[in-house]
Amino acid sequence: MKKGGILNAQLIGCIAALGHMDLFMVGDAGMPVPKGVPVVDLALCGGVPTFRQTMDAILGETVVEGYTIADEIVEKNPELLAYIREKLEGTEETFVPHSELKKMAANVRFAVRTGEFTPYPNIILRAGVAF
């Protein structure tokens, strides 16, 4: 049995399979995931798990070199934007309209669905390398 970090077998398997520059998404309970994209559904109920809890766990297991988020987060959820910038400091940041982020989701290796119920907690992450 794994003794720490992410214990969800599906999620840790998806993370372990990432290669350099692969894209993956973490989203809220309502973020649409395009047909054909594997979904790791962690949502239990509204707010569980939170986007932050999920990101903290994923960032403990993954190297991220860049991310894309919706423009709308600046106005609609500045606290979450501050959290993202703190956690991914020094990482390439890109903003696109939320409608474009939804289209970009078609190119991710997998999507993680959280129980988050706040505005625009959706992010596409680009895997880096550990060396």
Name the residue among 105, 123, 82, 108 with its Cα closest to residue 24: 108
Per-residue tokens: 127: 């895997």
Residue 21 CA to residue 24 CA, distance in Å, equals 10
Burial (0-12, 13-18, 19+ Cβ within 10 Å), 103: exposed
**Hey, what are 47's tokens?**
């707010």
Q: Which of 9, 16, 17, 20 is catalytic?
A: 20
Check if the beta carbon of residue 113 is closer than 8 Å to that of residue 11. Answer: no
Is 20 labeled as catalytic in the residue annotation? yes
Q: Which residues are catalytic?
A: 20
